[in-house]
């Protein structure tokens, strides 16, 4: 038997992606109290601060401010969850877990895929939790709006899962969340997730268009604003490409050290 055939026989199916490995990753994330607090607790607090008192005020298009801020903060919850999940690679690197995985047949692409799937799982939990809180607080929307906004917030969180991986491969574990937490809040504010972009002024309105949270937020709110712009999709795709490329380069550099 040739060497190539032996390597192919030993190569795991789908590069090593399987339900057991994915479930282990999900459980490891759910045991992280800091991740859970930032994923479920903080966005809910922001909703009660920014949205609850004004939830019945109407926007010019007839929808309520409560709907607007609930969707915006659901995007924030999803992006925080996905970023936190992706950034856990920093902890794994510090504990030697990444080095152990490289001794297995697990392919690098499969490792990244499992991380992305785990991040999507956690961000889905964040979306459901935030919408549940909003509904219990009295925010009402039609079924199509709930589903569309939730789906955009959920899938859009892939951008921030890639950001988490990128930063996680660049920084030591003790610093990653200390930097990412405030950074995400700033990105959310600049992207119009804490208040409508229209009230931020022209300067901040122009800056918002170039931030990672802008496109996702605009697309998620489109069912209640009645607006759509292809530039929002371009914003999401470009930032996803930037963070994926950065994560790939950081991963290769980290691998060469071992």
User: HEC string of the chain?
Assistant: CCHHHHHHHHCCHHHHCCHHHHHHHHHHHHCCHHHHHHHHHHHHHHHHHHCCCCCCCECCCCCEHHHHHHHHHHHHHHHHHHHHHHCCHHHHHHHCHHHHHHCCCCCHHHHHHHHHHHHHHHHHHHHHHHHHHHHHCCCCCCHHHHHHHHHHHHHHCHHHHHHHHHHHHHCCHHHHHHHHHHHHHHHHHHCCCCCCHHHCCHHHHHHHCCCHHHHHHHHHHHHHHCCCCHHHHHHHHHHHHHHHHHHHHHHHHHHHCC
Radius of gyration from C-alpha coordinates of the chain: 20
pLDDT at 253: 74
Q: What is the mean pLDDT of residues 173-182?
A: 74
Chain centre to alpha carbon of residue 70 = 16
For residues 14 and 109, is the Cβ–Cβ distance under 8 A?
Answer: no
- Whether residue 109 is predicted with pLDDT greater than 70 in this model: the reply is no
The confidence band for 156, taking pLDDT boundaries of 50, 70 and 90, is very high
User: Is the pLDDT reported for residue 40 higher than 70?
Assistant: yes
Q: Which of the two residues, 4 and 152, has the higher pLDDT score?
A: 152
**Rounded average pLDDT over 106-132:** 83
Judge whether residue 49 has pLDDT over 50: yes
Question: Which whole number is the average pLDDT over 199-206?
Answer: 82
Q: How many CB atoms lie within 10 A of CB 83?
A: 34
- Of 151, 160, 86, 161, nearest to 124 by C-alpha is 151
Question: At 6, is the pLDDT very low, low, confident or very high (cuts 50, 70, 90)?
Answer: very low
- Residue 235 pLDDT > 70, yes or no? yes
* Arithmetic mean of pLDDT, 89-116: 68
CB atoms within 10 A of CB 56: 11
Confidence of residue 3 (pLDDT cuts 50, 70, 90): very low
At residue 88, does pLDDT exceed 80? Answer: no
146 confidence band (pLDDT: 50, 70, 90): very high
Domain boundaries, the chain: 15-256
Residues above pLDDT 90, as percent of the chain: 28
Highest averaged pLDDT of the listed ranges 62-66, 169-173, 213-217, 225-229: 213-217
The candidate with the shortest Cα–Cα distance to 221, out of 66, 107, 85, is: 66
How does residue 1 score in pLDDT terms, banded at 50, 70 and 90?
very low
Q: Are 219 and 236 in contact (CB under 8 A)?
A: yes
In this structure, what are the phi and psi dihedrals at residue 37, rounded to the nearest 5 degrees?
Answer: -60, -50
Q: Is the pLDDT of residue 117 over 90?
A: no
């Amino acid at each position: 038997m040739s060497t190539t055939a032996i390597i192919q026989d030993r190569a795991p199916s789908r590069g090593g992606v399987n339900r057991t490995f994915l479930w282990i990753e999900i459980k490891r994330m759910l045991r992280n109290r800091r991740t859970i607090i930032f994923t479920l607790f903080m966005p809910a607090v922001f909703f009660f601060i920014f949205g609850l008192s004004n939830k019945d005020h109407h926007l010019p298009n007839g929808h309520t401010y409560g709907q607007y801020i609930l969707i915006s903060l659901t995007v924030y919850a999803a992006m925080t969850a996905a970023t936190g999940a992706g950034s856990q690679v920093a902890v794994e690197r510090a504990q030697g877990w990444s080095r152990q995985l490289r001794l297995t047949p697990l392919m690098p692409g499969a490792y990244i895929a499992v991380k992305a799937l785990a991040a999507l799982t956690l961000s889905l939990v964040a979306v459901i939790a935030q919408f549940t809180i909003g509904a219990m607080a009295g925010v009402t929307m039609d079924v199509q709006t709930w589903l569309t906004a939730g789906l955009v917030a959920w899938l859009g969180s892939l951008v921030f899962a890639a950001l988490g991986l990128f930063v996680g491969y660049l920084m030591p574990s003790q610093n990653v969340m200390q930097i990412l937490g405030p950074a995400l809040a700033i990105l959310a504010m600049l992207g119009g997730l804490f208040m409508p972009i229209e009230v931020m002024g022209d300067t901040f309105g122009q800056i918002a268009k170039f931030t990672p949270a802008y496109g996702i937020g605009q697309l998620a709110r489109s069912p209640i604003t009645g607006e759509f712009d292809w530039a929002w999709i371009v914003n999401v795709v470009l930032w996803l490409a930037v963070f994926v490329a950065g994560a790939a380069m950081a991963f290769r550099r980290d691998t060469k050290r071992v």
